[in-house]
Amino acid sequence: MSGNGGLRIGIFVFDGAEELDVVGPFEVFAEWGSHSQLRPSVSTFSWDGSGVRLAKGLRILPAHGADDVGPLHVLVYPGGLGTRQLLAQAGHLEWLRMIRKQTPIMASVCTGALSFAAAGLLAGRPATTHHNHYDELTDLDPSILVDTEARYVDDGDVVTSAGVSSGIEMALHLVERLETTAVARSVRFEIQHPAG
């Protein structure tokens, strides 16, 4: 990740992460760099820095591992079938809780919210996930206030989005929140994403 002193966004990738959950926000945040005063940079990182095979078979090589991605302003945590293994690993959930203390905004896409729930990050908070998985969210933590209407739920330091393509909308929202409505509109216009 470029060390330009700007706003730093890291997208965590893992075996079985859903393709568009990863690349939708990546595209938005990378395009933001061409329109912004905040010098945002976006990068992918896997647990150990090695390549991953996403949920539908696409293989990507992340730029970093968790050890060398460095401090982030925003962590994006995608969904996908791979979350089921991660949320069952105590060490991974401990890592999520540790990262959460250092990272101003934790943002999940789709079933990435299940890992957040398992780590206790959503306790007593409003949140959303892919529409097929609301029950799993409350099974993991009954105190979560599931929003079944929103495309994303911004609860300040923790932001969750609905399924897959909703991650694009959440990322555009974060651009608006962190910079301005005008800049978010420019990014949306440039990637020709329809109004939400």
Biggest alpha carbon distance in the chain? Answer: 42
Q: How many residues bind its own copies (CB under 8 A)?
A: 37
With CB under 8 A as the contact rule, the residue among 48, 50, 61, 65 that binds its own copies is: 61
- Told to check if 156 binds its own copies by CB under 8 A, we report no
Please say which residue, 96 or 137, places its beta carbon nearer to its own copies. 137
- Told to check if 111 binds its own copies by CB under 8 A, we report no
Bridging pattern class, strands 8-12 and 41-46 = parallel
Q: Near its own copies by CB under 8 A, which window of 60-68, 82-90, 94-102, 138-146?
A: 60-68
- Told to check if 30 binds its own copies by CB under 8 A, we report yes
Tally of residues, the chain:
196
Query: With contact defined as beta carbons under 8 Å apart, do 39 and 73 qualify?
Result: no
Bridge partner residues of 77 (DSSP): 108
Closest CA to 165 of 110, 115, 120: 110
* Residue 21 burial (CB count, 10 A): 32
Binding site for its own copies (CB under 8 A): 18-20, 22-24, 26-27, 30-31, 42-44, 51, 56-61, 63, 130-131, 151, 162-166, 168-169, 190-194, 196
